[in-house]
Amino acid sequence: MIKVDTLQIKEYENMLLKFKDKAFPYATRQTVNALAFETQKIAKHIARNKMITRNKFTINSIRVDKAKSLNVSKQESLVGSIADYMETQEFGATKNKRGKEGIPIATSYAAGQEGATPRTKIVRKPNKLQNIQLQRKQRKAKSRRQRNIMAIQEAAKSNKKYIFLELEKTKGIFKVIGGKKNPRIKMVYSLKEQSVRIPKNEWLNPATESASKKKDKIYKEALEFQLKKFGLFR
């Protein structure tokens, strides 16, 4: 923790209020905004290191709304993200299925990390849901097993390698690999879960707590700046 002499801070406050009281709101506003930007910097660092990000948008979505008022009681700066999913990351959420099947959960294979638990990389472009065209036209079969076998064979013969399969213990979207003679399947998305709890992955709260440890130092520097500005401190 950064230790700052609070008696010295009080002395600077008294000096500014006594000789240049109109400058005091500038010092407090500077403090509030400096704390906000410090929080933003730490939050970006946390997000960069704790989250799987597709591009720079997530990091750049963390913004500061600066305090502008010189009314000390109304001075407030805000730190947050313009991306809705960052709220889910901060507080967690429960995601429920919308259609007939369960919630699509990408596998490690979809991200090129087959066998990795948990998945730590983003889904590869060809395996993203919006890029997948399912092979849905299937011939009639007497059993689920026969239906699955025929679906795999049909996919192996066509350009549409992605199929929906309902197996004995699971169901999901699979990719057919290995060619026509020896087709094999790899699960790309699991669809067996009806709801999923998204755990908290806090980025703002720890950033706020970390930045608050510097508040006395930042406030002292803001007071010094105003005192120096008017020749009251050297």
Please tell me whether residues 185 and 158 are part of one structural domain. Answer: yes
Which residues are CB-contacts of 54 (< 8 A; sequence separation ≥ 6)?
A: 122
Look at residue 94 in the predicted model and tell me its pLDDT: 94
189 and 109 co-located in one domain: yes
Over 202-226, what HEC string results? Answer: CCCHHHHHHHHCCHHHHHHHHHHHH
Structure tokens at 97: 């299925």
Same domain? 87 vs 35: yes
Shared domain check, 203 and 88: yes
- Tell me: do 108 and 32 sit in the same domain: no
Helices (H), the chain: 6-19, 24-50, 57-60, 85-91, 144-157, 205-212, 215-229
Same domain, 191 and 214: no
In a shared domain, residues 141 and 210: no
Per-residue pLDDT of the chain (234 residues; tens, 9 = 90+): 455 678 999 999 999 999 999 999 999 999 999 999 999 999 999 999 998 887 899 999 999 999 999 999 999 999 999 999 999 999 999 999 888 889 999 999 999 999 888 888 889 999 999 999 886 666 677 788 888 988 998 888 887 889 999 998 999 999 999 888 889 999 999 999 999 999 999 999 999 999 999 999 999 999 999 999 998 876
What is this structure's pTM? 0.79
Domain span at residue 190?
95-197
- For residue 37, the Cα-to-chain-centroid distance in whole angstroms is 19
DSSP state for residue 129 in the 8-state scheme: G
**How many distinct structural domains can be found in the chain?**
2
The answer to whether residues 121 and 140 belong to one domain is yes
